[in-house]
């Protein structure tokens, strides 16, 4: 069932040219009929709305049951920033955020972490755009555990592509859950996108491509 909230988010992504349809090749070399590029968010209003979608998802799933949020460089940085603002503004949940530099700074305050300095025992949530192969999260975890003895509990992403990861029969999201004990929450899934297109009745050319793609590459838990 496609909820009004999911439909609104899909239309928001399409209006920002972040969710596109056609013929694309993913980083993993797969031919795909749809593509998500969160780098296309570029206005203040888009950034503000995006943070509100993430903040609503956090409020609905874990509330204020965390200590800080982390945005992995680079795309996670504006995501964590806008989400933290929306959480405080819309729900009164005022939590610190931090992010990493790709290059360690050797002057001034130094180090690779900007913003909040994690403490031992902190429950950290990650704000990210998508998980395709799980490579980024495997790079991120050593950064976080190198800061302090933190517990990464949850991760919030825009789209769960539901694509098979490194293990047959398991998606990258499932692998991240098993490998790191992180619960991954997505605002929408590839199935939601498919249902939306079907509902619109104007994407007859894309639907068979989506069906073929999902049959070949996707794994669904239910």
Catalytic positions: 105, 107
Could you tell me if 49 and 76 are in contact, meaning their C-beta atoms sit under 8 angstroms apart?
Answer: no
Question: What residue spans of the chain are helical by DSSP H?
Answer: 4-15, 44-61, 76-91, 135-147, 172-180, 190-200, 206-217
C-alpha to C-alpha distance for 66 and 64, rounded to whole angstroms: 6
Could you tell me if 194 and 204 are in contact, meaning their C-beta atoms sit under 8 angstroms apart?
Answer: no
C-alpha to C-alpha distance for 91 and 171, rounded to whole angstroms: 32
Rounded alpha-carbon distances, angstroms, from residue 33 to 105, 143, 196:
40, 34, 15
Assess whether the previous peptide bond of 74 is cis (omega < 30° from 0). yes
C-alpha to C-alpha distance for 161 and 187, rounded to whole angstroms: 11
24: Cα within 13 Å, side-chain hemisphere: 15
Could you tell me if 125 and 62 are in contact, meaning their C-beta atoms sit under 8 angstroms apart?
Answer: yes
């Amino acid at each position: 069932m496609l909820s009004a909230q999911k439909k609104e988010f899909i239309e928001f992504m399409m209006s920002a040219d972040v969710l596109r349809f056609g013929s694309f090749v993913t980083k993993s070399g797969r031919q795909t009929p749809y593509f998500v590029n969160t780098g296309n968010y570029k206005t203040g209003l888009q950034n503000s709305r995006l943070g509100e979608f993430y903040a609503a998802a956090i409020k609905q799933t874990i509330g204020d049951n965390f200590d800080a949020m982390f945005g992995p460089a680079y795309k996670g940085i504006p995501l964590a920033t806008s989400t933290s603002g929306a959480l405080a503004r819309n729900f009164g949940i005022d939590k610190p955020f931090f992010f990493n530099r790709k290059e360690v700074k050797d002057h001034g305050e130094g180090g690779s972490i900007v913003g909040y300095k994690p403490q031992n025992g902190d429950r950290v949530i990650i704000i990210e755009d998508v998980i395709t192969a799980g490579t980024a999260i495997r790079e991120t975890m050593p950064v976080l555990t190198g800061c302090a003895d933190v517990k990464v509990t949850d991760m919030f992403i825009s789209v769960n592509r539901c694509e098979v990861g490194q293990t047959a029969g398991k998606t990258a999201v499932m692998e991240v859950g098993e490998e790191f004990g992180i619960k991954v929450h997505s605002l929408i899934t590839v199935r939601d996108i498919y249902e939306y297109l079907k509902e619109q009745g104007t994407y007859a050319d894309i639907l068979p491509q989506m069906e073929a793609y999902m049959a070949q590459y996707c794994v669904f838990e239910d």
